[in-house]
Structure 1
Amino acid sequence: MTHNIALIGGDGIGPDVTAEAVKVVRAAGVDIDTTDFDLGGQRFLRDGEVLSDGTLDELRAFDCILLGAVGTPEVPPGVIERGLLLKMRFELDLYINQRPFAGTAPGGDTPHEFVVIRENTEGMYAGEGGSLRTGTPHEVATQGSVNTRMGVERCIRYAFELAADRERKHLTLVHKTNVLTFSGDLWERTFNEVAAEYPQVDTAYNHVDAACIYFVQDPHRYDVIVTDNLFGDILTDLGGAVSGGIGLASSANLNPARTGPSMFEPVHGSAPDITGQNKANPTAAILSAALMLDFLDEGAAADRIRAACAEPVTGSTTDVGDTIATRVRN
């Protein structure tokens, strides 16, 4: 079966690491047909386009989207993030952000493995808010967190389904219910109500500040974590730091209902300081492609790719890709 994949190489090191991910997927024997889309900061600088509705409609026709990295220092903050990444998440209903972590925390000697499920289309990133009297001594800025029962429940239910399929069968809700009493109450009540349908899954709750400490001091306590958009954004970067570095962190932006394509991306950014130098580690992009294969029901190939990435590889971007591709073939 041929899978139709939209490739958004993007900016900086994005095109280079995405090319290596495609190389490894093909080495794993998966038949993919790829189409390149010129999107990102450089495209915006050339012609002012971030993501048109027409291009978005083109993307809807694909099975999945594989993204490298977007962003360049010449573009003001928020233009690409909101106009491209968040637009795809919202318009394609990519309401689950799933990030797996495996590694050894700094100073530790016992490997850990856990998954963070982040609600991906609501919360602080929904764009509710505004400003008044900008640039004056009386300036006011508000940024609201939008949480719906539908959005919270479908995220929590996905996390319970995932936890129920794992060996430890444990799920932790992370929030800040002692201060965020409205959104926190909605999350906690929904979590407890859905938990009643999954008696085989053990549950726990952590405030987000405590979870930050546990990520560093005791990551083994976690199996699956579910949390809101902002807390998930922060926690998953910390998760990368305690699991070998952000350069190894993979990510899936999922539409579990499959009403549109899901998107897969490394989270290390575009690294403009090493653009074009063949220095970037493509492992995170390759592992993101493995998550894509899981979603495409190519689990055996995905497992071979993860096994090939288990031992560190050094060298240039292309050297690392070649080595992992060879391991996969063998």
Structure 2
Amino acid sequence: MKKITIANIPGDGIGKEVVPAATEVLNTIAAIHGGLKFEFTEFPWSCEYYLEHNQMMPDDGMERLQDFDGIFLGAVGNIKLVPDHVSLWGLLIKIRREFEQVINIRPAKVMKGVKSPLANAKDFDLIIVRENSEGEYSEIGGKIYRGEDELAIQNAVFSRKGTERAMQHAFHLASKRKKRVTSATKSNGITYSMPFWDSVFEDVSKGHPEISTDSQHIDALSAFFVTHPERFDVIVASNLFGDILSDLGAGIMGSIGIAPSANINVNGKYPSMFEPVHGSAPDIVGKGIANPIGQIWTAKMMLDHFGEEELGNTLLDVIESVTGDGFLTADLGGKHSTKEVTDEIINELKKIDKKG
């Protein structure tokens, strides 16, 4: 039997509601498969944990996580309790950086039964590959002076290694899809880093003649996401540009509550981390109406990562069957609860098992 060990970190807010829901779905899939078993270990690290211990995770937290096959994260942040820069850098970004999760992957597609805010949404199905370790989110910079002379400098850092790594991953994904890669750039306005990015993209493209390519400036690309998202297959972008495009992708789907993501470690030294795009949504905590689909679709990405792509595709098909049947939470204009949507997904999975 194939055993996969997962560190569950529900985190804050609705993370504590949607992680258990997605865990139940994964256990159902494992039971159906027969030769697969998930072993979950939960960690209570969150803003509430910070208030008690003055840190988002214990000193040995990273050591405790490093031997798991994967990390399943719910949400991090509660600005009423802990400043965001403390909570995020103490948990989410700490894990991303120290576990060398250098690539972030976020898909966006038209979901059955989910109304896109676009007036004429065609069947778009795209993936954003975001460089996840450097770029505009480097830790290099500083401040000097005070008052009217106060000055802040934030340095963007682009290495050939990091840039190539993200681009190669994008080409790999495209080879299994529609064989198109779009590069997000801004070389007409950013003097050094973006022409460098373009140059590396041109070099990497030469090694993949079977893949069609194009480059789009980020402002025009953002507009095309709204007007013609069906044009795109795989988009590769820097840390900042990928972050922005990912949220825009979630928006054109109809709700950030259904958007998944994966933070990938490519060298095998450490576990990868899987998390939905949405935040902790403190305004709806405890109401039972949080959308579990972002976390459950994230579980699909985790299955793919562990080589269980057939199961992952089955899960996504079931999710779309359920949304197509009108099992939607309030953020999608529906009336169903977190539990009702989760239970319906589990019921549909069990029906497939009986047919098999």
Q: TM-score range by the shorter chain?
A: over 0.9
The CA deviation string for residues 240-288 of structure 1, in whole angstroms up to 9 with x for no partner, is 0001211110000001222110000011100001111111010000000
Aligned residue-pair number: 328
Match of 1:260 among 243, 255, 270: 270
Residue 297 of structure 1: SS of its match in structure 2?
Answer: coil
Answer yes or no: is 1:102 the counterpart of 2:121.
Answer: no
Answer yes or no: is 1:152 the counterpart of 2:173.
Answer: no
Answer yes or no: is 1:191 the counterpart of 2:201.
Answer: yes
Residue aligning to 1:57: 63
Instruction: Return the offset for 1:52.
Output: 4.1
Matched AA of 2:216: N
1:47-126 alignment to 2 at 5 Å?
Answer: 47-73=53-79, 74-103=81-110, 104=116, 106-126=118-138
1:283-294 alignment to 2 at 5 Å?
Answer: 283-294=293-304
Residue aligning to 1:163: 174
Matched AA of 2:43: F
Contact 1:20 1:318 in 2 (8 A): yes
Question: Identity over aligned residues, as a percent?
Answer: 39
Instruction: Return the offset for 1:51.
Output: 3.2
The CA deviation string for residues 52-76 of structure 1, in whole angstroms up to 9 with x for no partner, is 4411111111000000001002211
RCO higher in structure (CA 8 A, sep ≥6): 1
Q: Distance in 2 between matches of 1:268 and 1:123?
A: 23
The CA deviation string for residues 115-160 of structure 1, in whole angstroms up to 9 with x for no partner, is 00000010121211111234x2221111111111111111111111
Q: Distance in 1 between matches of 2:309 and 2:85?
A: 35
Q: Distance in 1 between matches of 2:107 and 2:148?
A: 45
Instruction: Return the offset for 1:105.
Output: 5.7
Answer yes or no: is 1:217 the counterpart of 2:224.
Answer: no
Q: Distance in 1 between matches of 2:101 and 2:58?
A: 18
Match of 1:31 among 22, 26, 37: 37
Contact 1:253 1:264 in 2 (8 A): yes
The CA deviation string for residues 41-95 of structure 1, in whole angstroms up to 9 with x for no partner, is 1111221112344111111110000000010022113111122111111110101
Gaps of 5+ in 1: none
Q: Distance in 1 between matches of 2:212 and 2:120?
A: 26
Instruction: Return the offset for 1:218.
Output: 0.4
Runs in 1 of length 4+ with deviation above 2 angstroms? Answer: none
Answer yes or no: is 1:329 the counterpart of 2:350.
Answer: yes
Contact 2:77 2:280 in 1 (8 A): yes
Contact 2:72 2:273 in 1 (8 A): yes
Structure 1 residues 53 and 199: CA distance shift in structure 2, 3 A? farther
Q: Distance in 1 between matches of 2:267 and 2:317?
A: 29
Q: Distance in 2 between matches of 1:327 and 1:12?
A: 28
Residue aligning to 2:5: 4
Matched AA of 2:122: T
1:196-211 alignment to 2 at 5 Å?
Answer: 196-211=206-221
Residue aligning to 2:52: 46
Residue 137 of structure 2: SS of its match in structure 1?
Answer: helix
Answer yes or no: is 1:142 the counterpart of 2:153.
Answer: yes
Residue aligning to 1:14: 15
Residue 105 of structure 2: SS of its match in structure 1?
Answer: strand
Answer yes or no: is 1:300 the counterpart of 2:306.
Answer: no
Calculate the aligned-residue CA RMSD, in Å: 1.2
Residue 31 of structure 1: SS of its match in structure 2?
Answer: strand
The CA deviation string for residues 183-242 of structure 1, in whole angstroms up to 9 with x for no partner, is 112211111011111000000000000011000000011000000000111110000000
Match of 1:231 among 241, 244, 249: 241
Residue aligning to 2:182: 172
Residue 78 of structure 1: SS of its match in structure 2?
Answer: helix
Normalising by structure 2, report the TM-score.
Answer: 0.90
Q: Distance in 1 between matches of 2:62 and 2:290?
A: 29
